[in-house]
Amino acid sequence: QSALTQPPSASGSPGQSVTISCTGTSSDVGGYNYVSWYQQHPGKAPKLMIYEVTKRPSGVPDRFSGSKSGNTASLTVSGLQAEDEADYYCSSYAGSNNLVFGTGTKVTVL
């Protein structure tokens, strides 16, 4: 149950795009299409942004998109806005009814 690997930080100017990677193994990210992404602002609870690799919950802007290739999933935020500045975490089903989260990425809007 090792954490999924994410870059510690990412940044972009308003209007630009930023992509965050989430690397696991064939036992989690690569083995299932159950990757989710969460946004967490300081002092707040996480919020689901993407589920099942590419799906967006109702209310999440279409600027947020997800993808996966092999053991690595990615979250892309297009048209960056100031309110997108937050911590982002990926998670994946890891078999045997277990979940695993990523190490987290702090996104800064320059």
Partner 1 sequence: EVPLVESGGGLVQPGGSLRLSCAASGFTFSSYYMHWVRQVPGKGLVWVSRINSDGSSTSYADSVKGRFTISRDNAENTLYLQMNSLRAEDTALYYCAGTRGGSNLVYWGQGTLVTVSS
CB of residue 16 vs partner 1: minimum separation in angstroms?
25
Give yes or no for residue 88 binding partner 1 (CB under 8 A): no
CB of 71 to partner 1, least distance (A): 16
| Cβ density class 20-53: b for 16+ within 10 Å, e for less | bbbbbbebbbbebeebbbbbeeeeeebeebbbeb
Half-sphere exposure of 48 (CA within 13 A, CB side): 14
- Interface with partner 1 includes 57 (CB under 8 A)? yes
Query: Which residues of this protein are in contact with partner 1, per CB under 8 A?
Result: 1, 3, 34-36, 38, 40, 45-48, 51-52, 57, 89, 91-93, 96-104
